[in-house]
Amino acid sequence: MTELELLVDLHKDNERQGPGSEAETLRALSLIETAHNDGLKIADIGCGSGASTMVLAQNTTANITAVDLFPEFLDKLRVQAQQLGLTQRIHTVAQSMEELSFEDESFDIIWSEGAIYNKGFEKGIQQWRRFLKHGGYLAVSEISWTTHSRPKELEDFWMAAYPEIDTVSGKIKTLEENGYQPIGHFILPVACWTDHYYAPVQSRFDDFLSRHNHSETAKAIIKAEEEEIALYNRYKKYYSYGFYVARRVDF
C-alpha cells in the first residue's frame, strides 16, 4: 500500500477525519437563516466518511451532494446513509475539490469542515463562490490562530505546514475581500480535537501497525500522528479550527 492508501486505511473507520463534532456542526447550521427551507441544496466538500453530511441531512430537509477525493470514505458515508434511511437525499461525488464540475449558482449552502486547506482557504472561497446562489451561505472550518501572538516553535511549524494559517480576524478579512459577508464565527472547543478526533484514531494505532506488519511506512505514519497530537496538547491555547459562516454578496 502507498502512504496515501495507508492514511485512508487508518482514518476511514473513524467517526470523523478531522476535528469537529455534531454540536459544532449544529451551532454553525443555527447561524444560517434559510437552513430549514424546503428544496435546499447543500454541497459538503471534503466530506470524508460523512460526519457533517449526516448531521446536515438529519437536521434539514436538504438534498446534499457529498464530495471527497477518496472513494473509500464515500463508501463508508453511503453505508451510514443507508443505515439512517437518508440515501434519497444524499448523493456522493468522488472528485477533487480542485476540479468541481457543478453548475454556477447551484447551491444554497456550501459546507466544508477541515478540508478547504487542501486547496488553500483563499483560493477555495474564491473558486467555490460561483457555485453558490446569490445570498447563499458558506460554512467552513479552517485552522486559525486563537491568540494575537504565539511561541516561535509553533509559528515556524505552521508556517512550514500551512502558511495560510491566520488569526480569526484575518480569516474574516479574507472572506470580506472575496465577496462574502461574514455572518458569524466561533472556535472549535478542545473536545472536538481530543474526544471526537484524536482519541478514536489513537485507539486504532496498535491494530493498524499489526495489520500492516509494522512496515516502515506504517510506523512513519503513526509517528507523524503522535507528533501532531503532542503538538496540539502542548500548544492548544494558540490554535484551533475557526468555524466561519458567511454569505455570498453581489453588488
CB of 41 to ligand SAM, least distance (A): 18
| Nearby residues of 85 by Cβ (< 8 Å), 6 or more positions away | none
Which residue lies nearer to ligand SAM by CB, 192 or 218? 192
Please state, in angstroms and as integers, the Cα–Cα distance from residue 6 to each residue in 3, 74, 92, 217, 244, following that order: 5, 16, 22, 8, 31
Which residue lies nearer to ligand SAM by CB, 68 or 164? 68
CB of 32 to ligand SAM, least distance (A): 17
CA–chain centroid gap for 186, Å, is: 15
Task: Give the DSSP letter string of 175-201.
Answer: HHHTTEEEEEEEEPPHHHHIIIIIHHH
Contacts to ligand SAM by CB under 6 A:
16-18, 20, 46-48, 51-52, 68-70, 73, 96-98, 113-115, 118
CB of 251 to ligand SAM, least distance (A): 30
C-alpha cell at 58: 438529519
Please state whether 135 falls in left (phi above 0), alpha (psi between -120 and 50) or beta. Answer: left
CB of 189 to ligand SAM, least distance (A): 15
Which residue lies nearer to ligand SAM by CB, 48 or 242? 48
Which residue lies nearer to ligand SAM by CB, 32 or 47? 47
Which residue lies nearer to ligand SAM by CB, 63 or 118? 118
CB of 45 to ligand SAM, least distance (A): 7
CB of 121 to ligand SAM, least distance (A): 13
Which residue lies nearer to ligand SAM by CB, 114 or 136? 114
In what helix (H) or strand (E) does residue 123 lie, and over which residues does it extend?
Answer: helix 121-128
Task: Give the DSSP letter string of 210-221.
Answer: HHTTT-HHHHHH
Q: 3-class DSSP state for residue 167?
A: strand
